[in-house]
Amino acid sequence: MPEKLNNKDLLSNQVMTKHIIGKLLQGRYQIVQSLGAGVFGQTYIAVDVDFPQNPKCVIKQIKVSSSEPGYLEMLRLMFLTETETLKLLGSHQQIPEFIACFEENSQFYLVQELIEGHALTAELPIAQQWGCLWNEREVVQFLIDVLSILEFVHSQGVIHCDIKPENLIRRNSDGKLVLIDFGSIQSIDFGIGAELPIYRIPVTSLGYIPPEQFIGQTQPNSDIYALGMIAIQALTGLEPLQLKVDPHTNEIFWRSQNTPVNDYLAAVLSQMIRYDSQNRFQSATEVLRVLKQITWDQPPEILQEDSEFFLEEVAIEDNDFQNPTSDTSSPLLTGMKVGLAANSLLMGFGVYSLVNTAPAYSETDTLYQATKEYQAGDLQEAIALAKSIPSHSNVYPEAQATIEEWQEQWQVAAQQYQIAQIAFHESRWSDVLDAVSQIPNISYWQSKTDKLVQQAYVNIEAQTQDLLAKAYESAEIRDFSTALQYLREIPKESRAGALVQEKLAEYNRKRQIRAAYFLQNAYKKASIGDFDRAVKFLRNIPQDALVYAQAQVKLNEYTQKQHVQADNQKIAYTKRTNSFVSKNSDTKIEYLQQVNYLQEVNIR
């Protein structure tokens, strides 16, 4: 885990990095780029010169803070222990492969596979202003993908300890997520260690680290907490530190009326991020089992056994989640009403059946068939089937609630689909995606919008490339203000989010530098009396430049001096002309013409 470095450390790291770039380690690995520094040392990209194509790899140089023999021996033992763990972990397809380890000049180095791709950061919405909020299906798939990795990691007796978007890389070759940076790993049996000082934690990790990790009581479900926070960020667009915390219970308030998530998934996420680790899911396997019920398409009677397991595990002992055996359904059960999705219906209905007396299978099957008709697009048939359930059935209340919910959702879906179509025909691609994202999870409407969404993304990417090209052209001629304007026009749904953020920062920095350059040149020209050139430099400074206010003061000053200088030049010219006219009266007419001409110029 990277640490917050002081000025001395930063200077030391800069000197070290400069010294090692280009160096050949073990006569084989040539360092070509620095990736950053952390508590455990430096990380670099290197090329393997032993192979014809010089493949790239990652080199980690372990930090050595003492040359004492005892310290080096202890570090060597820890180094060898960690490398054995990394070898084992690297056998997983979604964890970087361990390549080699070696010691050279009392320095320890790890060599691992370089994952070509982009960090998950580039896919997550930022402050509800950049990027699209994820839908439930995307979040569930993401959780299942990463939990499968954690299930393997934890099975090897290891806790990652730094799950965050920067450490999840979307691999270019197959689009799969890869978990990187095991520099902070701990053994599950490590026991209680020293407290984790806040100053040693990078900003990018804050918010994802659970409370127990700060006091050295890290558990396997500490990784589950961090993963849950990423999922919530994907759903809400809010980073962990932006979420509100209950001052009495320390629980996180993350769900609002605008959060597009049903109660079942919300309950899963809430249990992943419980403040007390004892109240969380205890293993990745446990979360996987619950999540996979959302995606299974099975008849209700098959799901009841798994539903009972979920109820036993997900029951949370506070006022927000009541005992599932009570007469009044908890918010968890209430939220699992039919209509949000066919699969959510099955799970919700299975739980409802357990809480109450089990209904006849025919009535359960009727509601199941009604849901299938609803998802397929036949609303009237779905309602008719649901209404056929007799009032004495235990399923009847659920069926009535479902009918009302279906009607509301269908109306919303039809309205948003129409809005999406209008936006599509008007080439407003971001509005297309925004409208589609508000359509409830109904298979019929999703299939109707698939082509709209696909074409909108294609056009957004084409628009992005065009705007990027224009931004690059403007930057080439140092017109950074125009370049920034083009970048800001790029839709927030573009997949080039990380690149755009990088270029926004770069061009803004260069624009500030250029503005300062213009100001300095204005000073120089004014110092030699060239106020015309000084004013031209100052007028090139954009309004949002840091030196703009200072430039305006100088612009007023130099403009006044420019006018005084022009008046003095005119007076001098007039005196010279009068002297000439007095000597030669024949040129008086020509003189008057010249005076009139000067007056006209001044008026212009």
**Cα-based angle 453, 145, 124 (whole degrees, multiple of 5):** 50
DSSP E strands in 317-444: the ranges are: none
Q: How far apart are CA 538 and CA 540, in angstroms?
A: 5
Structure tokens at 73: 């021996």
Burial class (CB in 10 A: 0-12, 13-18, 19+), 20: middle
Looking at this protein, which amino acid is placed at residue 11?
L
Q: Facing residues of 45 across strands?
A: 33, 58
- Would you list the DSSP string of 221-270? HHHHHHHHHHHHHHHHS--GGGSEE-TTT--EE---TT----HHHHHHHH
DSSP character at residue 4: -
Q: Is 164 annotated as a binding residue?
A: no
Q: Facing residues of 170 across strands?
A: 118, 177
Q: How far apart are CA 112 and CA 479, in angstroms?
A: 42
Q: How far apart are CA 230 and CA 207, in angstroms?
A: 10
8 Å CB contact between 379 and 364: no
Structure tokens at 385: 């089937």
SS (H, E, C) 270-283: HHHCCCCHHHCCCC
Q: How far apart are CA 189 and CA 25, in angstroms?
A: 35
Active site residues: 162
What's the gap between Cα 409 and its chain centre?
30
CA neighbor of 2 nearest in space, from 199, 139, 136: 199
How far apart, in Å, are the Cα atoms of 306 and each of 247, 265, 268, 350, 366? 35, 15, 15, 9, 21
Structure tokens at 522: 């204005």
Range 330-340 burial, b when 16+ CB lie within 10 A, else e = bebbebbbbbb
Sign of CA dihedral 587, 588, 589, 591: positive
Range 457-491 burial, b when 16+ CB lie within 10 A, else e = beebbebbeebbebbeebbeeebbbbbbebbeebb
Task: Enumerate the known binding-site residues.
Answer: 60
Task: Enumerate the known binding-site residues for ATP.
Answer: 60
